[in-house]
Amino acid sequence: MHRVYLDNNATTPLAPEVFEAMTPWLTEGFGNASSIHWFGQQAAAAVEAAREAVAALLHCAPAEIVFTSGGTEADNTALFGVVDAAETSSGSKHVVTTAMEHHAVLHAAKALEKRGVRVTFVPVGASGIVNPEDIRAAITADTVLISVMHANNELGTVQPIEEIGRIARQRGIPLHTDAVQSAGKIPVDVDKLSVSLLSLSAHKLYGPKGVGALYVRKGTPLRPLLFGGGHERDRRAGTENVAGIVGFGAAAGLAMRTLNEEPERLAGLRDRLEAGILQSIPSVRTNGDLKRRVPNTSSVTFDFVEGEGFVIAADLRGLACSTGSACSSGSVEPSHVLTAIGQRPEQARSTVRFSLGRFNSQEDIDGALEVIHEVVGHLRRLSPLYAASGAQPHGTGAAVSSPPK
């Protein structure tokens, strides 16, 4: 069985170039980067070289990069670190974010609420893109942080961070963006975006799991999330994951080298996938803005198909993808992102995300289309709702897609 992997937004394969760069630091390069002897200084030099590579990807100074254990820690450090360091004349604090953030931001924001911080979760429309004016309207005299993701992990929609950044700069409020799903897929320039903080994760751009980074603009007040040694210029305690950081640097360099041609290739494959689905399967639609999105992501709702069942059936046929739902406490809840854009729970549970990557080919897409067509047909034949709907038989009729944006 030829397996096709279309779940790159969950994690990407480790690039061979990255593995090769990491290998020496898993064996002979074992020194602690904080040690002053030769072994430690070799490790420290490798960490700093990686810091320069990650900084180059974001067009920032290397000293503004703080290595973390991943995107979740970077997001939490940004939210808790800025809020804890902030002071207001009234003593109360307010954070502005959106209803479609990754849980690393949403759950951190809800934890801040339990501490007495007021949080505004700005809604988004059917496009999956927040209106900057809604962010402006949510700001109060006590607002100490705005956090809006760059690209959504489920829809791929790219948020207007430049416009939000200008609003934040005018009001003197730090802006954080979670760029885990945009870095390496589209250009990311912290000055153009006017962000004060930005989160990254290595395993989303062909690097290793367990390492990420937080960009912190010079002068941004930030209290550390972890306490211990003086690592990362007193911003993140803990011995550096040297091999992982080296891999992150190699992945950042790879992204820089491929950023001119790879997005266009991925967009072509994504469009081929969507066209194949929409032209051959009825009662199907894509979600979110079709133009303002990263090139590799497609969110598709298959009416009368249960998403978890689709993922399982597709996997048995060699296709890996994911749903827009998250499992919590043994029950499947509809995706907060999809309900935020107006989907009913049953629609959200019928939605599947396909996310492409560097190692996907046209043959992969054509093979995936065969599996998708087979799985949807099989599941709909088993669905009493589909039979009762009077919908056109599977494989006939025109598909319905989202209206042009």
The secondary structure element, H or E, covering residue 246 is: helix 242-258
* C-alpha gyration radius of the chain: 22
Please answer whether residues 277 and 369 qualify as being in contact, where contact means their C-beta atoms are separated by less than 8 angstroms: yes
Q: Which residues face 298 on adjacent strands?
A: 354
Phi, psi (5° rounding) for residue 64? -90, 0
Say which of 63, 326, 327, 385 is annotated catalytic: 327
Helix segments in 115-150, DSSP class H: 132-138
DSSP string, 54-85: HHHHHTS-GGGEEEESSHHHHHHHHHHHHHHH
- The verdict on whether 327 is a catalytic residue reads yes
- Helix, strand, coil percentages, rounded to 5, for the chain: 40, 15, 40
β-pairing verdict for 197-201 and 175-178: parallel
User: Beta strands of 134-174 (E only): which ranges?
Assistant: 143-147
401 phi, psi to nearest 5 deg = -115, 170
Q: What residues are annotated to the active site?
A: 327
